[in-house]
Amino acid sequence: MSTQKYLSFDLGSEISYRWDEGDRVTALEGSTHVSDVLALIRDHGELTRTEVIELSGLSRSTINQRLATLSAAGLLTAVGGGESTGGRPSTRFAFNAQRAVVLAADIGATGFTAAACDLDGRPLAHLSHTIDVWSGPDAVLTAVTEAFGRLEFGDAEVWGVAIGVPGPVEYAARRVVNPPIMTGWDRFDIASWFTDRYDALVTVENDANARAVAEARLHQVDNVISLKLGTGIGAGLVFNGQIVRGDKGAAGDIGHTRASITDAEPRLCRCGNLDCVEAYAGGWALQRDLEAAGLPVTSTADVVSLVQRGDMEAVRRVRAAGRVIGDAIATLVSVLNPRTIALSGQLAECDEVLMSGIRERVHQHTVPLVTSDLTITKSTLGELAGVTGLALLTIDALFQPVSMERMLRGHA
């Protein structure tokens, strides 16, 4: 059926998998790498030796060797249960997600969330820290490194480090390029900062892309737009199970597209252009406007708490912001036809006050077929959406044949 769905995102894997009607891996073709056997077991949860042989189509001796390698590396644990044909309980092999951790930091404009995640991408420990992204890479990444040091994850080894940033990422070089708001970060070598400090695989990803991956995996959907609505506005796109990055990593940057509803007076955006979507609907713009209206707000969080307390002016402005965002994504929805639009970021805490405007405009400006199964909802992962997606992407990279070779040499 289809190939390379949620097992691999954008990593150039040449392994092909066959999928049955229940969308599970049923056979491997053209490769006998140890990572294929691990992928089978990760996908099914637990398998006996015989099941691995049947599902993989590989010989018993090859499978014995692969299972021994993976067990010696601590990636598989033997669990009881399961009757063999002779009545003797046969060993089942399960993926040992506790073998190591991935440290992930989801950096936003005014703070970051750091987490230690297991090899299933589940956050085991996390903390949040306030910092201005404008203070530059040295200050921010020093704070991130210190935060990683405070996370408690026992004596598990660190196999991966994943950094999410609120700007376009040149994926192969793992650095930020021409970020509209991240002054001082342009082309800063984020990956080297961490490879100098950790003997681990390092990935750098746009924050909204990472959130889209988390939503796609969690809900097992292939076509997702994630909207990160915080100080700024960004969109992450996962289509056909793959991140859509675009040529320069700038795909999905809807915050700096032109707003369709504009005031008589042009509004200056923090990127320097006039009348961007962010200049109407970004957390920073709402804060500016409410402050100008005489309300006591100094942050996006203050805007959210005014809305939650039912302040009429704040509610009116956030509703209007929802319509601006809805207009901005309606074309995207028509062009790309997502199944899910997941909202995260501080402003998403305004719930229906914000979402009603988004829904209204998306439904107004698209044909019914496009919205017939479309869900527009707040992310159930909340503040952990970013770190979860970052960890999952890094785990994909860790279990690619090339990285596994390196890892097994070190741990076998």
C-alpha of 168 from chain center: 14
What is the residue type of 339? R
- Angle of the 385-398 helix axis to the 401-411 helix axis, nearest 10: 80
Give the range of 71-79, 170-178, 271-279, 348-356 binding Zn ion by CB under 5 A.
Answer: 271-279
Q: Is 285 near Zn ion (CB under 5 A)?
A: no
Residue 106 phi/psi, 5-degree rounding, is: -100, 100
- What is the signed CA dihedral for 130, 397, 405, 195, rounded to 10 degrees? -30
Q: H or E element: which one contains 3?
A: none
* Shorter beta-carbon distance to Zn ion: residue 71 or 273: 273
Q: H or E element: which one contains 205?
A: strand 201-206
Bridge partners, residue 101, by sequence = 158
* Shorter beta-carbon distance to Zn ion: residue 148 or 280: 280
Q: Is 276 near Zn ion (CB under 5 A)?
A: yes
Contacts for 323 with CB less than 8 Å, ≥ 6 apart: 261, 357, 358, 360, 361
Contacts for 53 with CB less than 8 Å, ≥ 6 apart: 59, 60, 63
* Shorter beta-carbon distance to Zn ion: residue 242 or 273: 273
Q: Is 269 near Zn ion (CB under 5 A)?
A: yes
By CB under 5 A, the count of residues binding Zn ion is 5
Q: How far is the CB of 50 from Zn ion (least distance, A)?
A: 59
Q: Is 274 near Zn ion (CB under 5 A)?
A: no
* Shorter beta-carbon distance to Zn ion: residue 269 or 353: 269
| 227 burial via Cβ count (<10 Å: 0-12, 13-18, 19+) | buried
* Shorter beta-carbon distance to Zn ion: residue 66 or 256: 256
Say how far apart CA 314 and CA 331 lie, in whole Å: 27
Q: Please spell the DSSP secondary structure of 91-108, one letter per residue.
A: PEEEE-TTSEEEEEEEE-
* Shorter beta-carbon distance to Zn ion: residue 11 or 271: 271
Give the range of 239-247, 254-262, 299-307, 346-354 binding Zn ion by CB under 5 A.
Answer: 254-262
Q: Is 233 near Zn ion (CB under 5 A)?
A: no
Give the range of 25-33, 40-48, 263-271, 368-376 binding Zn ion by CB under 5 A.
Answer: 263-271
Check residue 268 and report its DSSP letter.
B
Q: How far is the CB of 283 from Zn ion (least distance, A)?
A: 14
Q: How far is the CB of 38 from Zn ion (least distance, A)?
A: 44
Count of CA atoms in the C-beta half-sphere (13 A) of 284: 18
Q: Is 176 near Zn ion (CB under 5 A)?
A: no
Q: Is 254 near Zn ion (CB under 5 A)?
A: no
Q: H or E element: which one contains 201?
A: strand 201-206
* Shorter beta-carbon distance to Zn ion: residue 233 or 306: 233
* Shorter beta-carbon distance to Zn ion: residue 269 or 281: 269
Q: Is 256 near Zn ion (CB under 5 A)?
A: yes
Q: How far is the CB of 176 from Zn ion (least distance, A)?
A: 17
* Shorter beta-carbon distance to Zn ion: residue 123 or 255: 255
What are the angstrom distances between the C-alpha of 89 and each of 37, 68, 78, 83?
22, 19, 12, 4
Q: How far is the CB of 256 from Zn ion (least distance, A)?
A: 4
Q: Is 119 near Zn ion (CB under 5 A)?
A: no
Applying CB under 5 A, which of residues 94, 271, 315, 336 lies at the interface with Zn ion? 271
Can you give the binding site for Zn ion, defined by CB under 5 A?
256, 269, 271, 273, 276
